[in-house]
Amino acid sequence: MALNEEEERILRQIEDQLRDDQRFADVVSPKGLYRHSIKTIRWAVLGMVAGLVVLIAALSVHFMLSFVGFLIMLSCGLVIERQVRQMSKVGLADVTASLRNARSASSRLKDRFTGDA
């Protein structure tokens, strides 16, 4: 079904507004799409470390307390697994590529200021 002139004009205006909206571009960029998952994974890794500390520290106190540490680690591992699955292979590739770019940029800055390059 063809659009009339008024509908085409409105559609062009919407496209122009979306093209110029920087906040929208940040949200739908690969970095923005996976921002929540990355934050959740970071907190879950921190939780796994805390669970390991609880597990090791509680071994000398009581085995049930160390089991609580194990349950913390297990739940954090499940959260990590769920978030990675939600990100899918493409999302994971985007995130690792952005991390590599960030590392290479930081090493270039370091080289620039230390005078190695």
The per-residue pLDDT for 2 is: 76
- Residue, of 63 and 108, whose pLDDT is higher: 63
Q: How many CA atoms lie within 13 A of 85 on its CB side?
A: 6
> What is the reported pTM?
0.56
| Helix axes 63-114 and 35-58, enclosed angle (nearest 10) | 130
Residues 83 and 40: beta-carbon distance below 8 Å = yes
Query: Mind listing the pLDDT tens digit for each residue in 49-104?
Result: 999 999 999 999 998 999 999 999 999 999 999 998 887 766 667 777 777 777 67
